[in-house]
């Protein structure tokens, strides 16, 4: 937003220099990015945040200038002409969601010509070119009130006026003389025969005000921000009008802008007022009164102040303040301040004008009794829990990644049948859905690193996924994603990491095979009857689609469930007596699960302290469909040193139990 100091001075008596004013505005949140000196004026370039659409008007900025400089704004509201009524032309709105409110005014017998120098200078210093006295009057009022207007040549409008969606492949030639092909995504203003404006974006060449124009139709409307954004993106246009409509316009200021534009046109171009018509309905709700506690406000901001100081600052922001009690006041925000809706909004609004530099740095206020604030308690505990898991997984040798929560719908469909939540207005077509799973982000990160020569990767991510719970509700859940690449032996590293995490939380999982789209050799993990996650290998076809150079093994664990299921830890002292180990070599049928073997061994002796796989073999000298393993069993007592004979007895007992099982061959 570019604005002129002389324009601001029409409403606020400013004594500060331009440089001082720029510092004051920036410290209050309206960042001045550039300050330029002209012959007799200063031009400010400001960065306007999306929630402060009131800063897209000179009136809004003047109100801010008045607040930061301790001045009062001097503003006169125009009297708007509403008679006679326009009878000959109908104004039709096809969809009130696209255009809830539309005003039309006519001015007849005008004389189009050059604008006076004062108006030209104001517009040029606000980076808007001067065209003629009619167009300049509409731009002046747009700048002043923040509501775009458009002047049509009334005699070139054929029949009634309709606000509708464009027909497919309908042509539009704008005042920039460029032809564009429209789609039903574009909202247009049309007469009975042609499109006369791309609504909220640009007028058409066919009804442009020229030197020959005698009669004017002045449009003032409220268009849907979403519709205008999609429409102008579709044709690749970005204008002063669309910039404001996309961020919201005020219906009240719309009336003032239209009314003042008529007065200014009559003053600059002579003529006479022809008529007025409004269609649709006002949808803007008045700001609600907010009751605030001064004590809470002081605790929130961490500084002390008095009621007169609070009233003065809030009044300077055009808020009405009423005292309720010694500690409470009611605040009614200005009509243009719909961003002020909660107590904290008022606290922060006061603080930015009061000056953050006046608030001394100190330790934040801490709630001692968290039982009085269960929401804060839960959030704090969840945050700590995730950080503990993050640190633990990092200690296991995994590197953390951070990926986008928005993914491409088509890519999501490759790896899961679960549909991501579609975004109505994605900033990028590649990011049009909220992810229902973390796997896609893991795959992309793995691919990025493999393509840069990295091998045998071990990554993890802790992030949220999003799923539709009901028609109007979305469930957001925290998950841990683990990914490793390499040969099939790397799966055991992934499994070991998962088991370490679950052991860390003292959770005993149940494992079962399941079928997952886009994955092979998938295992489902359960605890206490609840599904807590899965482990799987990315399918070969999917691997090829994403262009991965190595096999990828992935696991996802539901952290919200794990936090609920985690149990307290029990500790025991280390045995001071040495451990003794023995090896067992065996071949097992491929249909026998290893967990069956480990269960037999673990139940075989009370002195068994650990079990490890030290070697695997598949090939010659083994029966068909069998795999060879060498297991190392560790025996240890907490009471005494086990001698060789005792260990041999325990070890042989386990060997006999394994020998008795069908499909297991001792070697």
pLDDT digits (tens, 9 = 90+) for 94-108: 999 999 999 999 999
189-193, 279-283, 298-302, 379-383: which has the minimum mean pLDDT?
379-383
| pLDDT classification of 364: cutoffs 50, 70, 90 | low
Same fold, 2-69 and 290-357: yes
CA 398 – CA 384 distance, rounded (Å): 19
Least confident stretch, 184-188, 361-365, 420-424, 438-442 = 361-365
Lowest mean pLDDT among 188-202, 259-273, 318-332: 318-332
pLDDT at 300: 87
Average pLDDT of the residues in 325-350: 89
Q: What percentage of the chain reaches a pLDDT higher than 90?
A: 65
Confidence grade of residue 372 (pLDDT, cut at 50, 70, 90): low
114-147: pLDDT as tens digits: 999 999 999 999 999 999 999 999 999 999 999 9
pLDDT exceeds cutoff 90 at 221: yes
Give yes or no for residue 362 having a pLDDT over 80: no
Q: What order of strands is seen across the sheet that includes strand 187-190? A: 91-93, 161-165, 187-190, 195-198, 202-203
Whole-number pLDDT of residue 106: 97
Q: Is the pLDDT of residue 367 over 60?
A: no
pLDDT (0 to 100) of residue 279: 96
The Cα 564–Cα 532 span in angstroms is 11
Q: What is the pLDDT of residue 234?
A: 92
Please report which helix (H) or strand (E) contains residue 256, including its range.
helix 251-269
Domain 580-666 has CATH 3.40.1350.10: no
Lowest-confidence segment of 172-186, 355-369, 385-399, 501-515 by average pLDDT: 355-369
Averaged pLDDT, 48-68: 91
Where do the domains of the chain lie?
2-69, 91-280, 290-357, 376-565, 580-666
CATH number at 2-69: 3.30.56.10
Helices 133-145, 58-69: inter-axial angle, 10-degree rounding: 40
Q: pLDDT class for 474, splitting at 50, 70, 90?
A: confident
Averaged pLDDT score across all residues of the chain: 90
DSSP string, 27-75: HTT-EEEEEEE-SS-EEEEEE--TT-GGGGSHHHHHHHHHHHHT-----
The answer to whether the CB of 114 falls within 8 A of the CB of 137 is no
Sign of CA dihedral 393, 394, 398, 400: positive
pLDDT at 371 over 70: no
Q: Which region among 39-53, 524-538, 587-601, 648-662 has the lowest average model confidence (pLDDT)?
A: 587-601
* Residue 373 binned pLDDT confidence (cut-offs 50, 70, 90): low
The reported pLDDT for the residue numbered 100 is 95
Q: Give me the pLDDT at residue 226, please.
A: 94
CA distances from 64 to 7, 67, 70, 258 (A): 14, 5, 10, 23
**CATH 3.50.40.10 describes domain 91-280:** yes
State the Cα–Cα distance between residues 648 and 97, nearest whole angstrom: 84
Quick check: 138 and 150 in contact, CB under 8 A? yes
Tell me: the pLDDT tens digits for 163-215? 999 999 999 999 999 999 999 999 999 999 999 999 999 999 999 999 999 99
Q: Provide the pLDDT for residue 81.
A: 86
Q: So what's the pLDDT on residue 472?
A: 76
Beta-strand ranges (E) seen in 300-419 are: 320-323, 328-332, 399-400, 406-407
pLDDT at 571 over 80: no
From 238, 164, 149, 160, select the one nearest 201 (Cα to Cα).
238
Of residues 284 and 407, more confidently modeled: 407
pLDDT of residue 662: 87
- Is 80 exceeded by the pLDDT of residue 365? no
- Predicted confidence band at 431 (pLDDT cuts at 50, 70, 90)? confident
Say whether domain 376-565 belongs to CATH 3.30.930.10. yes
- Terminal Cα distance for the chain, rounded: 82
Q: How many CA atoms lie within 13 A of 99 on its CB side?
A: 24
State residue 337's pLDDT score: 84
Are 151 and 135 spatial neighbours (Cβ–Cβ below 8 Å)?
Answer: yes
Q: How sure is the predictor about 92, in pLDDT bands with cuts at 50, 70 and 90?
A: very high
Burial class (CB in 10 A: 0-12, 13-18, 19+), 186: buried
> Which of these ranges, 72-86, 186-200, 419-433, 606-620, has the smallest mean pLDDT?
419-433
Q: Rounded to whole angstroms, how far apart are CA atoms 481 and 558? A: 9
**pLDDT given for residue 379 in this prediction:** 65
Tens of pLDDT, residue by residue over 147-157, are 999 999 999 99
Across the range 279-287, mean pLDDT stands at 84
Among 173-187, 321-335, 401-415, 505-519, which range has the highest average pLDDT? 173-187
Average pLDDT value for residue range 397-409: 92
Q: What is the pLDDT confidence band of residue 633, given thresholds at 50, 70 and 90? A: very high
**Residues found in the chain:** 667
Q: In this predicted structure, what is the pLDDT of residue 599? A: 87
Is 80 exceeded by the pLDDT of residue 374?
no
Average pLDDT value for residue range 615-622 = 82
Antiparallel, parallel or unpaired: β 552-558 and 474-485: antiparallel
Q: What is the mean pLDDT of residues 417-437?
A: 82
Residue range 290-357 in CATH 3.40.50.2300: no
Q: Where are the alpha helices (DSSP H) in 146-250?
A: 225-235, 240-245
Q: Give the residue-averaged pLDDT of 32-40.
A: 93
Can you tell me the mean pLDDT for 615-637? 87
Residue 382 — very low, low, confident or very high, per pLDDT cuts 50/70/90? confident
537 vs 620, more confident: 537
């Amino acid at each position: 937003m570019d604005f002129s100091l002389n324009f601001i001075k029409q409403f606020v008596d400013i004594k500060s220099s331009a440089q001082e004013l720029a510092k004051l505005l920036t410290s209050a949140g309206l960042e001045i990015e550039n300050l330029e000196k002209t012959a007799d004026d200063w031009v400010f370039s400001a960065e306007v945040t999306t929630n402060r659409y009131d800063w897209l008007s000179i009136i809004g900025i003047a109100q801010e200038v008045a607040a930061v400089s301790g001045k009062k704004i001097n503003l006169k509201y125009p009297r708007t002409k509403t008679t006679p009524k326009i009878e000959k032309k109908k104004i039709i709105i096809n969809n009130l969601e696209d255009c809830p409110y539309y005003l039309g005014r006519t001015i007849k017998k005008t004389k189009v010509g050059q604008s006076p120098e004062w108006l030209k200078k104001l517009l040029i210093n606000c980076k808007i070119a001067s065209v003629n006295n009619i167009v300049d009057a509409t731009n002046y009022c747009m700048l002043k009130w923040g509501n775009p207007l458009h002047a049509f040549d009334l005699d070139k409008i054929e029949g009634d006026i309709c606000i509708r969606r464009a027909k497919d492949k309908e042509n539009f030639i704008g005042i920039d003389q460029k032809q564009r092909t429209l789609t039903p995504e574009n909202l247009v203003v049309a007469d009975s025969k042609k499109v006369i404006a791309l609504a909220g974006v640009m007028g058409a060449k066919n009804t442009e005000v020229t030197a020959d124009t005698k009669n004017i139709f002045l449009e003032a409307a409220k268009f849907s921000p979403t519709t205008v954004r999609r429409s102008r993106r579709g044709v690749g246009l970005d204008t002063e009008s669309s910039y404001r409509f996309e961020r919201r316009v005020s219906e009240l200021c719309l009336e003032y802008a239209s009314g003042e534009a008529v007065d200014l046109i009559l003053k600059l171009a002579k003529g006479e007022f022809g008529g007025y018509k409004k269609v649709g309905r006002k949808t803007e709700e008045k700001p609600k009164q907010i009751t605030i506690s001064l004590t809470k406000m002081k605790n929130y901001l961490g500084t002390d102040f008095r009621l007169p100081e609070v009233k003065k600052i809030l009044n300077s922001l055009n808020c009405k303040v009423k005292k309720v009690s010694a500690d409470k006041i009611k605040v009614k925000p200005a009509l243009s301040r719909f961003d002020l809706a909660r107590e904290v909004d008022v606290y922060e609004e006061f603080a930015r004008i009061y000056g953050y530099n006046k608030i001394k740095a100190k330790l934040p206020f801490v709630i001692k009794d968290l039982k009085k604030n269960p929401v804060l308690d839960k959030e704090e505990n969840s945050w700590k829990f995730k950080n503990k898991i993050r640190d633990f997984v990092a200690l296991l040798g995994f590197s953390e990644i951070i990926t986008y929560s928005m993914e491409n719908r088509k890519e999501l469909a490759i790896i899961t049948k679960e549909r991501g939540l579609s975004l109505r207005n994605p900033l990028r077509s590649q990011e049009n859905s909220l992810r229902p799973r973390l796997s896609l982000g893991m795959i992309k990160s793995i691919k990025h690193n493999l393509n840069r020569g990295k091998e045998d990767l071990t990554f993890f991510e802790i992030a949220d996924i999003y799923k539709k719970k009901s028609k109007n509700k979305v469930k957001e859940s925290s998950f841990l994603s683990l990914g490793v690449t390499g040969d099939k032996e790397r799966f055991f590293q992934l499994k070991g990491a998962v088991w370490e995490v679950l052991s860390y939380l003292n959770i005993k999982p149940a494992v079962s095979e399941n079928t997952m789209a886009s994955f092979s050799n998938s295992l489902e993990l359960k605890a206490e009857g609840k599904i807590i996650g899965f482990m799987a290998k990315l399918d070969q076809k999917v691997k090829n689609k994403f262009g991965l150079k190595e096999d990828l093994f992935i696991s996802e664990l539901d952290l919200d469930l794990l936090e609920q299921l985690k149990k307290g830890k029990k500790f025991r002292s280390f045995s001071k007596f040495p451990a003794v180990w023995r090896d067992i070599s065996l071949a097992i049928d491929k249909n026998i699960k290893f967990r069956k073997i480990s269960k037999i061994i673990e139940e075989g002796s009370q002195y068994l302290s650990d079990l490890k796989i030290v070697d695997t073999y598949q090939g010659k000298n083994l029966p068909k469909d069998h795999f060879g393993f060498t297991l190392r069993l560790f025996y240890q007592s907490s009471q005494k040193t086990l001698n060789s004979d005792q260990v041999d007895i325990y070890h042989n007992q386990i060997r006999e139990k394994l020998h008795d099982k069908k499909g297991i061959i001792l070697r």
